[in-house]
Amino acid sequence: MVHEKRKVLIVGSQFSGLFSARELKPHFHVTVVDAKEIFEYTPGVLRAFVKPAHFDSLSFTLQPVVERRMGVKLIWGEVKNLDGEKCVATIKPMFTPAGVFDEIAFDYCMICAGCNFGPFKPMGESLWFPTIHEEGRKVSDWAHIDERFIEGRRRHILEEFHTLMTLNEKAATLLIVGAGFIGVEWATEIEHYFPNMKITIIDFLPKCLGPLPDGAAEYCSEYMHSKGIKEFYNMKYAPQDPEFWKTIELPDKCDKEYVCIGVKASNYFMAPETLSDKGPGGGGWIHFNKFMQVEKKPQMGGGVYGKGTMFAVGDCNYGCIGDPPKFEGGMPPIPKISYPGEEQALHACKNLHIMDQMKYGGGCCKPKGMKATWWPWGAGMFATSLGPHDACFVMGANENKGSGYTVNWWIPAALQKEIIETTKINEMADGWIGFMIWHFVHHTPVNMWGKGPFMSHCSWVP
């Protein structure tokens, strides 16, 4: 018997969203919804602020790619509510009057909405990701710019670039708060393109790059020292305390601060019973189970939310399964970076296929149950740029501090990161070169590293 294709709604169009659309389109009617009209390669966007022409190679308009190349439906609009009980999404399409909404029914939903950065901002806001949500734009520091449009995003990049130019001309002092890979990259990018500025970077941890191996931290620290970037560690950010500024050798404060720490959830469209009370940025992360299904919070009894047809993937979810610090029977926190987001998207897509087969049949044999997710080995890969001509690459890191190995550095690592950036953008744009390079990264027949050894993805294919 031939069954009608079921409808899948994908919320978000970054890495995991476009990855999911490509995975699901052969078997389902797929609709992607996003509040912005562009895809942006977030890991490389820092360079666009110091070299605006680079933005063109990092971004593309979604509609031609999603609808013409991929062949799935795109809705340019903001999801205001996801009802898992009724399987209905309330969406405010772009250009509709205030208070006018559409309701879209779905059989399955993949939530790939990501997160925001900047925990000190009311809705989470930073340079690294455009401000696109309606409530966030009301309290934005750059409310005069509409970053839902590609031209609005470009205008913001140019505005920040000119700010940096002005600061460079007067040899201004700059403070970078946070010496994780974002803070280190931002400090070194600014130093390379605006060498007149005096840069200081601080972190509350005893070294840069946080929990990554000592070799990577030492390499990055030596690079920053050679470029005159002052480093202060074991340092709590206290901008209202005069002693804080004296300790970091800026008694008159600085001309400009950039806060590069932390993430903040933006899952306001979800039912409150599915969102965490704790977690980075004050909570608000989507609870999920080992099959990537959305769950109710433990205080609400746990268990799958609605009909179990909603999956939370990547940066939007709680990041771990089970109670800290041991996470017995669950999974330790996964870094909020692109690779594990795509890996979780694959796990969720396969489980969605299995759920559909169990409900409606199809395929040569009916599966007995869904497959559990795991801590993917690729979640331990970190490529940190040190300006355009230097970098270091770590792999094999896990949830333990200091784990992993620094396997590549200097110009080879910088070239490696350029290749990753170029080919990933091509893959997201549904280009055949990027697809051929990256397809088998997530569809490897056997996982030889990480928490999923010998768990074949091939055996999941319906």
- Residue 2 is predicted with a pLDDT of 44
3-state DSSP of the chain: CCCCCCEEEEECCCHHHHHHHHHHCCCCEEEEEECCCEEECHHHHHHHHHCHHHHHHHEEEHHHHHHHHHCCEEEEEEEEEEECCCCEEEEEECCCCCCCCEEEECCEEEECCCCEECCCCCCCCECCECCCCHHHHHCCCCCCCCCCCHHHHHHHHHHHHHHHHHHHHCCCEEEEECCCHHHHHHHHHHHHHCCCCEEEEECCCCCCCCCCCHHHHHHHHHHHHHCCCEEECCCCCCCCCHHHHHHCCCCCCCCEEEECCCEECCCCCCCHHHECCCCHHHCCCECECCCCEEECCHHHCCCECCCCCEEECHHHECCCECCCCCCCCCECCCCCCHHHHHHHHHHHHHHHHHHHHHHHCCCCCCCCCCCCCCCCHHHHCEEEECCCCCEEEEECCCCCCCCCEEEEEHHHHHHHHHHHHHHHHHHHCCCHHHHHHHHHHHCCCCCCCCCCCCCCCHHHCC
Domain ranges of the chain: 7-120+264-374
CATH of 7-120+264-374, picked from 3.40.50.10860, 3.20.20.70, 3.40.630.10, 3.50.50.60, is: 3.50.50.60
pLDDT < 50 regions, the chain: 1-2, 456-462
- Residue 451 is predicted with a pLDDT of 64
- Residue 68 is predicted with a pLDDT of 94
> Mean pLDDT for the chain?
89
Reported pTM = 0.92
